[in-house]
Amino acid sequence: MTVSTPPATAVRLQRLERIWKESPGVLGWLTTVDHKRIGILYFFTSLFFFGAGGVEALLIRTQLIGPNQSTLDPATFNEMMSSHGTTMIFFFVVPMSLGAFGNYLIPLMIGARDMAFPRLNALSYWIYLCAGVFLYVGVFSGNGPSAGWFDYVPLASKAYSPGPGIDFYALSLLFVSISTTAGAINAIVTIFKLRAPGMSLNRMPLFCFAFLAVSFALIFALPALSTALILLELERLLGFHFFIPAAGGAPILWQNLFWIFGHPEVYIIILPAFGIATSIIPTFTRRKMVAWPLVALAEILVAFLGFGVWAHHMFAVGLASATAIYFAAASLIIVIPSGIQLFSWIATIVTGTPRFQTPLLWIVGFIVLFIMGGLSGVMFAAIPFDQQTTDTYFVVAHFHYVIFGAAVFPLLGGMYYWFPKVTGRMYHEGWGKASFWLTFVGTNITFFPMHILGLDGMPRRNYTYGPEMGWTGLNLIETLGAYLLALGLLAVFVNLAVSLFRGARAGNDPFGGDTLEWSTTSPPPEYNYAVIPKVSSPYAMWDTEDREEDARNLERGRKTLERGHETAASTAVDADWDEVLEMPSHSAWPPLVALAMAGVFTMILLQQWLAAAVFVGVLLCTVAGFHLKEPEEA
Amino acid sequence: MLVVAGVVFLGAVAMLVVGWVRRETPGLPFLGENEKLNTGLVVLFGMAIPIVILVALFIVSDLVLLNETDAPQASSTAMTVTVIGHQWFWQVRYEGEGAETANEIHIPVRTPVNLVVRSADVIHSFWVPELNRKIDTIPGQANSIELYAEEAGVYRGQCAEFCGLQHAHMAFRVYAEPMPKFKAWLANIRKPAREPATPQAQLGQRYFMEDGCAACHAIAGTEARGTVGPNLTHLAGRETIAADTLANTPEDLFRWVQNPQAIKPGAKMPGLGLGPEQFHAIVAYLTELR
Amino acid sequence: MSSVPRSMEAEGPGPVRAVDRERRTQASGWWGAALLIATEATLFACLIATYFYLRFRTSEWPLGGIEKPSVTLPLVFTGMLVASSIPMFFSVRAAKGGSVRAAWWLLLLATVVQATYLGLQIHLMVDDLHSFSPQANAYGSIYYTLITVHHAHVAVGLAIDAWLLWKLARGITNYRLIGLRVAAFYWYFVGAAAIAVVLTQLYPSL
Ligand code: HEA
Ligand code: HEA
Ligand code: CUA
Ligand SMILES: [Cu+2]
């Protein structure tokens, strides 16, 4: 898009450019507080962990390609299986959705110039990176976790897992929880405070509702995980007793704490995907979402109800009937908000003017896979059925349909969708479609037969099986499917990587998008918007008069906030303009704080208490350094 | 349930197909951009219909069927069997009978048995798909279910909760037999082990007692009282060894005792590094333990 | 738009007061603190739930013949900590009203009370350690864990106090006022948590 720029505007843009500039080169990336750059860092880091988790998955599948294989010995298999789950859940999906997509897009969608706490944002990233490295030091040194991703005690207790693998697991998850909590707080405050004046809550894109719900869920779910992990480490490292019956402990305590976190976590994983779906669908159907308020409500409800169903993961531990029935009923109720959203997407597609370009294809794939996975989830809420299928491949099938199919597909669709915005270039449409079909077919070939195997009694987490069980054929098909699936993903990333250099120029708004981010340049400038945008509906980009007014404002220098690193803050619900905030600029403290924390965790792992205390001191110093400079002194 | 799921799935996909067919054309004939009608659709398909299905599912499965899988009432069962999960085998005790065995559970057919499960180490899960639900064995807690076989036969079961290295090789068998046959079996199991008859077996017994086996295994009627491994008093009466991993033939038995780690890497039984003659003798002894 | 304050630039009592008056929503820092407190409160809830979960698995409590905790001193100390919220509250008030000196002294008073509390508490804990250890059994473990987590929160609060005392001594800015308000908010939370923790801790004797 070429618009002739009046001279006054050019001067303003230059000034903003100068104010918001960060250091060049590597130093710039180390000290950045720009939410877009942090988003990109998150993207590549979590992509790396996706690759790691994917390689682990392929090793698992290769081991299971036939009966009595020995690609992996049992110990390695268990490490791969546990690292796969842990990596994918904690170091891939959540950082990818909240860290990469959330970070990059939330400020853009609400018309802000950065997150509410830019340096805390950087700190979250660096902590995440350190925690991931921490875990993988364990995995690569042969000390990966090996008690499964939910790490049940007493298997994870010192007596049955004497090596440091579980400590790597527990400490790295505690570590990354700090990052996730900070990220969630940041997202909530950003959404509440920094929305462009005029964007009252009922005009906020549904994408942001989803992320708001996720962030709240994280804030209340993570403490349960942290508690469990702290207790576990106290038991493992200092000989406390929480889980061992002989000393008055209880193994089921772990399961309760873990799943009080764990079930909300699965909705934390899926909600960003819902948010992405509700961004892509209106754009490609040229139609506003059907039942907008119901969808917003449903997104919040899912996050909320998710806290009441945890024991449906524990139907086989011998719960009292009444307890089990309550949790089954709660699990059924949670279907309703999912159903609302699902039919709202379908209705929007059917009654709109759908263009099945690559991003929408991924969303349609997502819808199909989500129904599959959701329906098997509902079956578990029939307690007798669960008691048969729990801990079999039926469960593995369920959660890969909902996690890989329903949570990762929209992430991939979102990568295509926002690729032009982030890079300024178009992806290759033909390859995009091909990569979708490869992945979609591969996914079904990989995960559908798992339903059958599960019903046929194949337990999960078995490093091998005998030829007499009759599971050989389906396992072979699954493994081949997994290779196909990997090929599909490879096609996605090759497409994007090649397009980064060769793609056609995209312009600001190649798809006729519905939300604000499409109004700025691709890639967006450091300050996102030269003018704080005017907003009067959730489909801000389709309100052409508002966008014209923005252009006039820029010419006249209204709402440009060009005195410093500034952005607008508004009231939480109605979004009336409340104050102008000076935002901190680049800082070297976040990576230093994260490093000091890594020191503390490493010393705890090594049980060097004195050194740990020293690192706590260092940490305090870095935190003080972090707060040395007040915004107005910038 | 599968049928209902199929209908729901196909219905929803059908709608998507409609969308595909009408791509690039705006709206549906009469629904179009009519917000009220569309919201109504969402409420109908997303809320009203699901509620009906869910309530039905809930009543059938969680209120009616659940009773059948519950722990049995104390008085409704004829006998109690305790199963204790170990890494990675099953210890089986017939309460009040003083009988103990491992990995192979015999029950009378058409008789409700109260099955109590416990754990000696980590959490396992007792599961015979054809007979009943799963039930976890949890340290410090006794769970129970009813084990009831309508027809005589051999039912395979396995550990369903991840319990470490050899979780994959922690299977077992349930033999449902007519009452007289069961009674005879139980009577035999209650007896102490018979004395070895052949010289080689006698030699084997000596090795067994002196070279370490007895530290872990119990053989009733001898000084072997170990509790780490399975009770071997009537080992030869079993069809499988090492938790349904090998057939109980002299050859496999030899392979097992000589080098268990090659068969179940990580298993809690070490290869004792004795010579082949000693192992042959031990096997000869073990095969006499009917 | 000219009426919208550039709040972060406010410096000195007058402008800071003006910003605080005109702002219609809480400052970002306050929101952040509120959310942090929400997640920390959940952490305490989980720990206390753990305590009672362990408690109701046995008939004997405390386990293993450990003596029941004595009630008076912990309650008195807790009262002291909760009371430190009062100077905190007035410190914020004074800072908002522009009397920076008063705010500083009130903050110092609160800090001294809080530090004393922590010292006395640690003293009590050391006494406890002489009679039973956290490794003894689940009761000992959850008892000390709960208390130590609480102490850690008090220690963090003291660090915040110290930082504010240092900053406020050099005048007030909008940023520092928000800091003070956040600190006060945090201490109200620590006070509430202290009540919950002490009631749990003393539960066997109540
Ligand atoms: C987000 C979550 C997530 C995702 C995406 C996946 C993805 C996959 N999972 Fe997994 N899985 C889990 C979460 C996930 N899984 C969990 C929680 C468990 C339970 C663990 C436990 O029991 O404790 C599990 C368990 C599990 C099992 C069962 C193990 C067992 O019970 O013994 C299997 C078996 O087939 C499996 C397979 C796969 C496969 C083939 C994929 C494929 O979809 C993977 C495909 C991905 C790739 C092939 C990577 C491609 C990436 C690139 C090409 C990027 C390029 C890289 C760079 C630029 C560096 N998974
Ligand atoms: C993204 C993650 C995600 C999502 C969204 C879900 C969604 C659901 N899950 Fe799933 N679940 C997992 C991830 C997820 N799950 C994981 C990772 C595990 C295994 C953990 C482990 O053991 O390693 C698991 C395990 C799991 C169990 C335990 C199984 C076991 O171990 O024994 C149960 C039991 O109730 C369950 C239930 C449900 C239900 C009821 C939903 C519902 O929310 C689904 C709702 C959606 C639909 C139903 C489809 C759309 C709606 C319609 C088409 C309307 C009409 C429908 C009807 C009338 C039925 N899940
Ligand atoms: Cu025992 Cu798995
Ligand atoms: Cu769940």
- Is ligand 3 within 6 A of the CB of residue B104? no
Q: Are B126 and B159 in contact (CB under 8 A)?
A: yes
Amino acid at B122: V
CA B204 to chain A, closest CA, distance in angstroms equals: 32
Q: Which residues line ligand 2 (CB under 6 A)?
A: A 150, 266, 269-270, 312-313, 331, 334-335, 338-339, 342, 371, 374-375, 377-378, 380-381, 386, 390, 395, 398-399, 402-403, 406-407; B 8, 12, 50, 53-54
Whether C139 contacts chain A with CB within 8 A: yes
State how far Cα B31 lies from the chain centre.
55
Q: Are A105 and A418 in contact (CB under 8 A)?
A: yes
Give the least confident one: A425-434, B3-12, C99-108, C156-165: B3-12
Of A15, A214, A249, give the one whose Cα is nearest residue A95: A214
pLDDT digit string, tens, across residues A216-246: 999 999 999 999 999 999 999 999 999 999 8
Contacting residues of B for A356, CB less than 8 Å apart: 20, 23
Nearest to C141 among A241, A571, A580 (CB): A241
Best interface-test mutation with C: which of A232, A579, A581, A623 has the largest number of C CBs within 10 A? A579
The 3-state DSSP class for residue A357 equals coil
Radius of gyration over every alpha carbon of chain B, rounded to an integer in angstroms: 27
Determine the atom of ligand 3 nearest the C-alpha atom of A461. Answer: 2
Mean pLDDT of chain A: 92
Residues in contact with A358: Cβ distance below 8 Å, sequence separation at least 6, in sequence order: A413, A416, A427, A429, A432, A433, A436
What is the average per-residue pLDDT within B222-241?
Answer: 93
For residues A272 and A419, give the distance between their C-alpha atoms in angstroms, rounded to a whole number. Answer: 17
pLDDT digit string, tens, across residues C72-131: 999 999 999 999 999 999 999 999 888 889 999 999 999 999 999 999 999 999 999 999
Q: Is the pLDDT of residue A630 over 90?
A: no
From residue A427, give the alpha-carbon distance in Å to each of A295, A420, B123.
30, 7, 50
Q: Six-digit token pair at C34?
A: 């509120």
Q: Is the pLDDT of residue A634 over 60?
A: no
Sign of dihedral through CA atoms C179, C181, C184, C190?
negative
Chains in contact with chain C (at least 3 beta-carbon pairs closer than 8 A): A
Backbone angles phi, psi at B127, to 5 degrees: -145, 115
For residues A395 and B193, give the distance between their C-alpha atoms in angstroms, rounded to a whole number. Answer: 44
Contact B162 A372 (CB under 8 A): no
pLDDT digit string, tens, across residues A23-71: 888 899 999 999 999 999 999 999 999 999 999 999 999 999 999 999 9
The 3-state DSSP class for residue C69 equals coil
Backbone angles phi, psi at B235, to 5 degrees: -55, -40
Whether C80 contacts chain A with CB within 8 A: no
Mean pLDDT of chain C: 91
Report yes or no on whether pTM surpasses 0.80.
yes
Residues forming beta bridges with residue C173, ordered by sequence position: C11
Give the least confident one: A442-456, B183-197, C2-16: C2-16
The 3-state DSSP class for residue A586 equals coil
- Is ligand 1 within 6 A of the CB of residue A84? yes
Of A175, A209, A198, give the one whose Cα is nearest residue A277: A209
Of A564, A631, A624, give the one whose Cα is nearest residue C173: A631
Which residue has a Cα nearest atom 1 of ligand 3?
B124
What is the average per-residue pLDDT within B257-274?
Answer: 92
- Is ligand 1 within 6 A of the CB of residue A460? yes
Contacting residues of B for A379, CB less than 8 Å apart: 1, 5
From residue A50, give the alpha-carbon distance in Å to each of A134, A173, A362, C108.
16, 17, 18, 51
Give A 592-631 residues with CB within 8 A of chain C. Answer: 620, 624, 627, 630-631
Determine the atom of ligand 1 nearest the C-alpha atom of A461. Answer: 32
Model pLDDT, residue C1: 45
Q: Six-digit token pair at C68?
A: 């029941």
DSSP string spanning A487-548?
HHHHHHHHHHHHHHHHSPB--S-TT--SSGGGGS-SSPPTTS-SSPPP--SS-GGG-HHHHH
Contact B138 A459 (CB under 8 A): no
Give C 163-192 residues with CB within 8 A of chain A. Answer: 163, 173-176
What is the average per-residue pLDDT within A356-377?
Answer: 93
- Going from the Cα of A53 to the center of ligand 1, the distance in angstroms, rounded, reads 6
pLDDT digit string, tens, across residues A331-363: 888 888 998 898 889 888 888 888 899 999 999
Range A512-545 burial, b when 16+ CB lie within 10 A, else e: ebbbbbbbbebebebbbbbbbbbbebbbbbbbee
pLDDT band, residue C27 (cuts 50/70/90): confident
Whether C64 contacts chain A with CB within 8 A: yes
Amino acid at A458: M
Residue in this structure with the two tokens 């010192």, named with its chain if needed = A158
H or E stretch covering A475: helix A472-502
pLDDT band, residue A581 (cuts 50/70/90): confident
Query: Running DSSP on this structure, what letter comes out for residue A392?
Result: B
HEC-encoded secondary structure of chain B:
CHHHHHHHHHHHHHHHHHHHHCCCCCCCCCCCCCHHHHHHHHHHHHHHHHHHHHHHHHHHHHHHHHHHHCCCCHHHCCEEEEEEEECCEEEEEECCCCEEEECEEEEECCCCEEEEEEECCCCEEEECCCCCCEEEEECCECEEEEECCCCCEEEEEEECCCCCCCHHHCEEEEEEECHHHHHHHHHHHHCCCCCCCCHHHHHHHHHHHHCCHHHHCECCCCCCECCCCCCCCCHHHCCEECCCCEECCHHHHHHHHHCHHHHCCCCCCCCCCCCHHHHHHHHHHHHCCC
Nearest to B57 among A245, A246, A332 (CB): A332
What is the average per-residue pLDDT within A463-489?
Answer: 95
Query: Running DSSP on this structure, what letter comes out for residue A73?
Result: -
Residues forming beta bridges with residue B115, ordered by sequence position: B81, B145
Contact C31 A222 (CB under 8 A): no
- Is ligand 1 within 6 A of the CB of residue A112? no
Nearest to A192 among C31, C53, C141 (CB): C31
Determine the atom of ligand 3 nearest the C-alpha atom of B87. Answer: 1
Contacting residues of A for C8, CB less than 8 Å apart: 580-582, 631-632
How many CA atoms, within 13 angstroms, populate the side-chain half-sphere of residue A112? 35
Whether A553 contacts chain C with CB within 8 A: no
H or E stretch covering C84: none
- Going from the Cα of A450 to the center of ligand 2, the distance in angstroms, rounded, reads 15
Q: Report the complex ipTM.
A: 0.93
Whole-number percent of chain C with pLDDT over 90: 71
Give A 572-591 residues with CB within 8 A of chain C. Answer: 572, 576-582
Contact B122 A160 (CB under 8 A): yes
The greatest distance separating any two alpha carbons of chain C, rounded to the nearest whole angstrom, comes to: 71
Q: Is the pLDDT of residue C2 over 60?
A: no
Determine the atom of ligand 2 nearest the C-alpha atom of A150. Answer: 23
Residues forming beta bridges with residue B102, ordered by sequence position: B91
Give the least confident one: A459-468, B38-47, B75-84: B38-47
For residues C128 and C137, give the distance between their C-alpha atoms in angstroms, rounded to a whole number. Answer: 14
For residues B257 and B283, give the distance between their C-alpha atoms in angstroms, rounded to a whole number. Answer: 8
pLDDT digit string, tens, across residues B171-186: 999 999 999 999 999 9
From residue A205, give the alpha-carbon distance in Å to each of A79, A538, B10, B14.
41, 5, 31, 28
Q: Is the pLDDT of residue B32 over 60?
A: no
Length of chain B: 290
What is the average per-residue pLDDT within C175-199?
Answer: 95
- Going from the Cα of A86 to the center of ligand 1, the distance in angstroms, rounded, reads 10
| Beta-sheet pairing, A566-570 with A577-582 | antiparallel
State how far Cα A355 lies from the chain centre.
27
